[in-house]
Amino acid sequence: MQGPRGDDACCTSVAPVFTVRVRDRGSRARAGTLHLAHGEVATPAFVPLATRGAVKTLEPRDVAGLGYEMVLGNTFHLMLAPGPELIAELGGLHEMMRWPAPIITDSGGFQVFSMGHGGVADEIKGRRGPQASADSSGSILAVEEQGVRFRSYLDGGERFLGPETSMAVQAALSSDIALVLDECTPFHVTRDYTARSMERTHRWLTRCLDWHEREGPAGQRVYGIVQGGIEPDLRAASTQEVAASRCDGIAIGGSLGQDKPQMRAVVDWTTAELERVAPSRPRHLLGIGEIDDLIEGVRRGIDTFDCAMPTRLGRHGMALVPDPGRRWRIDLHKPRFRRDREPIMAACRCPACAQGFSRAYLHYLLRARELTGLRLVTLHNLSFVARVMSDLRAAIERERFDEVAAQLHAGAAPGAATRSTS
């Protein structure tokens, strides 16, 4: 953490968590480096999910081989199993999962509140109204000032997650970046609810930072979280409050509206304000990872992103392709791929395409539920996203951000910018 009421000048007194190398002239896009306990991360960067301590279907060497320098571990799932005591006993999350590079851990709040608000993942993205979550057998018991009581989806036992608990679990995991606990405010609530929820998040922020100052592991950085829903004044107020805290970096959380324009507007207000009050602190956009959203997030000054999208799509047989008209994806289960001898994407350097696996073979493997198929499409998707981010970094460095962003939006194959360097 930074010093008390840290502002950006504080960064000079300790090793800075973040350095901005190049700022784009025409936007808030910037290329920088995160300096973390387990190494550096070139930004802007996408952070793959290692939800339960493994990037699904992959080994750490696979993830590193695709160019990733950081993964995200999930505090909620890891606190339920194998549990913070055992992870600490095994040497922390890095040692347990044999990932030697930086790890960011979320606070667990998003998953806990998903059980209460019902499918908060879709809810926060505005895609539907409140309803019972289909895939959660846990349940929330009470949200109180102290924290949240809930039932474990694993054994039905009662559990508690408060600001201090979350920080203590993340301390046991020994992540490079811990996120403070926030109340994930859903989209379909009143402005008054959003405001009160935001204020609680701010009180929790202080408690998280207080706990971390006393008991947090040396070298672990803490990100605060901006809430405020889709209300410009609340987002501005939350941004100022979080920026005025001792946090090392700032994440944007909560409801980002009901469609992409609204989401981009929320990000826009927030990073505009951050540019004013905390220009040098790193910024993370929570849970966003579609290709156009990554490009537009970078344009608005986001440094890191995490999202289940590329890995989850991969396990559902959806492969990323440079085709904005199809949301950058094709469904390999579709009958039209049955005899398709082409790789997922022409001239793609991912392990699946470079080894020459055809769409027809992947179609067959996916229909036969062969795990090799899930792995190959996951490798392709994470490789695709890694190259988009690599292109955006290179574009900022060369003062060509707008041009490269436009090319990617128009369906240029990612990797072009990276190729022209080599």
Q: Which residues contact 123 (CB under 8 A, 6 or more apart)?
A: 117, 129, 130, 186, 187, 188, 255
Closer to a copy of itself by CB, 113 or 337: give it.
Answer: 337
∠ CA 163-164-168, nearest 5°, is 120
Q: Is 14 in the site for a copy of itself (CB under 8 A)?
A: no
User: Per rule CB under 8 A, is residue 367 in the interface with a copy of itself?
Assistant: yes
**Which residue from 311, 236, 231 is spatially nearest to 272, judged by alpha carbons?**
236
Residue 144 near residue 163 (C-beta atoms within 8 A):
no
- In the bound state with a copy of itself, the residue whose beta carbon lies nearer, of 203 and 338, is 338
Site for a copy of itself in 95-154 (CB under 8 A): 96-98
Interaction with a copy of itself in 190-219: which residues (CB under 8 A)? none
Q: How many residues bind a copy of itself (CB under 8 A)?
A: 39
Residue 273 CB, nearest approach to a copy of itself (Å): 40
Which is nearer to a copy of itself, 230 or 352 (by Cβ)?
352
Q: Which of 376, 382, 392, 408 binds a copy of itself (CB under 8 A)?
A: 376
Q: Binding of a copy of itself at residue 365 (CB under 8 A)?
A: yes
Q: CA 97, CA 237: separation in Å to the nearest integer?
A: 39
Going by C-alpha positions, the residue among 148, 113, 144 that lies closest to residue 255 is: 113
Stretch of 36-44, 165-173, 281-289, 356-364 contacting a copy of itself, by CB under 8 A? 356-364
Q: Does 336 bind a copy of itself (CB under 8 A)?
A: no
Catalytic annotation present for 306: yes
SS3 380: helix
Smallest distance, a copy of itself to C-beta of residue 350, A:
12
Shortest Cβ distance from residue 24 to a copy of itself (Å)? 37
Q: Among 88, 372, 418, 419, which residue interacts with a copy of itself (rule: CB under 8 A)?
A: 372
9: which 2 tokens? 């000048």
How far apart, in Å, are the Cα atoms of 315 and each of 53, 126, 191?
17, 24, 37
User: 19 has which bridge partners?
Assistant: 33
Our finding on whether 313 is near a copy of itself (CB under 8 A) is: no
364 near a copy of itself (CB under 8 A): yes
Stretch that binds a copy of itself, among 7-15, 271-279, 365-373, 400-408 (CB under 8 A): 365-373
Reported in sequence order, the residue ranges of 136-226 that DSSP labels E, i.e. its strands, are: 139-143, 148-151, 158-161, 177-179, 221-226
Q: How many whole angstroms separate alpha carbon 62 and alpha carbon 104?
A: 18
3-state secondary structure of 228: coil
Establish if 368 lies at the interface with a copy of itself (CB under 8 A).
Answer: yes
Tell me how far, at minimum, the Cβ of 94 lies from a copy of itself, in Å: 11
Q: Which residues contact 378 (CB under 8 A, 6 or more apart)?
A: 55, 56, 57, 58, 310, 311, 314, 315
Q: Please say which residue, 89 or 403, places its beta carbon nearer to a copy of itself.
A: 89
**Six-digit token string for 5:** 């009421």
Annotated catalytic, 331? no
Print burial letters for 106-119: b (CB count within 10 Å at least 16), e (below 16): bbbbbbbbbbbbbb
By CB under 8 A, name the one of 346, 371, 406, 409 that touches a copy of itself: 371
Residue in 19, 28, 24 with CA at minimum distance from that of residue 285: 28
Peptide bond into 186 cis (omega under 30): no
For residue 410, the minimal CB distance to a copy of itself (Å) is 32
| Closest among 337, 387, 295, 383 to 27, alpha carbons compared | 295
Residue of 293, 303, 306, 391 with catalytic role: 306
29 near a copy of itself, judged by CB under 8 A: no
Nearer of residues 52 and 260 to a copy of itself, judged by Cβ: 52
Residue 316 interacts with a copy of itself (CB under 8 A): yes or no? no
Q: Measured from the CB of residue 173, what is the shortest distance to a copy of itself in angstroms?
A: 13
Other Cβ atoms closer than 10 A to 103: 27
Residue window 73-102: x/- pattern of binding to a copy of itself, with contact defined by CB under 8 A: --------xx---x--xx-----xxx----
Q: Which residues bind a copy of itself (CB under 8 A)?
A: 52-61, 81-82, 86, 89-90, 96-98, 338-339, 341, 351, 355-358, 360-361, 364-365, 367-368, 370-376
Residues identified as active-site: 106, 306
